[in-house]
């Protein structure tokens, strides 16, 4: 895992977050008003969210805002309470995917339909921009449109069999600034109903 794509800050206070993340870009107004909202297992804001679909379960690997034409540059996560279930957040870097044994045709010749209400569009999961590769992936909003895309989705569903993720064990006051175009992330499983787990989430565009 290339941890250059994750900046980890410890023992941060809530009122320090905006100042720290401002050097990375502009925070998006997630719902048109607020720059941050709190996320917890089993609680959801939208029926299109992973929290609604997976409730208290684990989350599959994904990048945030994959349904945007230009996904968010960075994901901001702040730990208000790690929760009684001690869930981790797992990360895999794009470099690890590119260096895996998967065929190049599956990596670069996959085509997905990105579903977004009335403005759906097509995209590959991995594209090249300014001599650098970037990635978008979220199987909940991306429908495979060719065999390579189907194979890529299968690879993503079993990715931990070939790539060991970095797992972040949360502590109160942890602030992570994550390169959303160079990493994918997932939420681990808990045997407890840990609705007391509270992460504050923001997006940098």
Q: 134-193 pLDDT, tens per residue? A: 999 999 999 999 999 999 999 999 999 999 999 999 999 999 999 999 999 999 999 999
Pair of tokens at residue 36: 């941050």
Our count of domains for the chain comes to: 1
Q: How far apart are CA 196 and CA 194, in angstroms?
A: 5
Q: How far apart are CA 204 and CA 153, in angstroms?
A: 26
CATH number of the domain to which 57 belongs:
3.60.130.10
* Mean pLDDT for the chain overall: 93
Nearest residue to 114 (alpha-carbon basis) of 148, 140, 135: 140
Give the bridge partners for 183, in sequence order.
93
**How many CB atoms neighbour CB 102 within 10 A?**
17
Q: 110-130 pLDDT, tens per residue? A: 999 999 877 899 999 999 988
Contact 43, 195 (CB under 8 A): yes
Residues written for the chain: 205
Domain range for 159: 3-204
Burial category of 98 from C-beta neighbours within 10 Å (exposed 0-12, middle 13-18, buried 19 and up): middle
Q: How far apart are CA 74 and CA 69, in angstroms?
A: 15
């Amino acid at each position: 895992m290339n941890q250059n794509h994750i900046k980890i800050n410890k023992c941060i206070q809530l009122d320090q977050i905006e100042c720290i993340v401002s050097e990375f870009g502009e925070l998006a107004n997630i719902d048109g008003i607020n720059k941050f909202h709190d996320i917890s297992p089993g609680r959801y804001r939208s029926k299109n969210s992973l929290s609604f679909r997976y409730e208290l379960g684990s989350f599959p690997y994904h990048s945030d805002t994959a349904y945007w034409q230009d996904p968010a540059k960075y994901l901001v996560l702040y730990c208000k309470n790690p929760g009684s279930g001690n869930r981790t957040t797992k990360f895999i870097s794009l470099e690890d995917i590119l260096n895996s044994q998967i065929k190049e045709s599956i990596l670069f010749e996959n085509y997905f339909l990105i579903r977004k209400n009335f403005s759906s569009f097509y995209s590959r999961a991995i594209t090249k921009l300014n001599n650098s590769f970037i990635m978008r992936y979220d199987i909940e909003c991306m429908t495979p449109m060719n065999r390579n895309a189907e194979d890529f989705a299968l690879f993503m569903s079993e990715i931990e069999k070939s790539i060991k993720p970095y797992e972040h064990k949360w502590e109160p006051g942890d602030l992570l600034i994550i390169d959303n175009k160079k990493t994918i992330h997932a939420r681990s499983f808990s045997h407890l109903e840990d609705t007391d787990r509270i992460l504050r989430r923001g997006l940098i565009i």
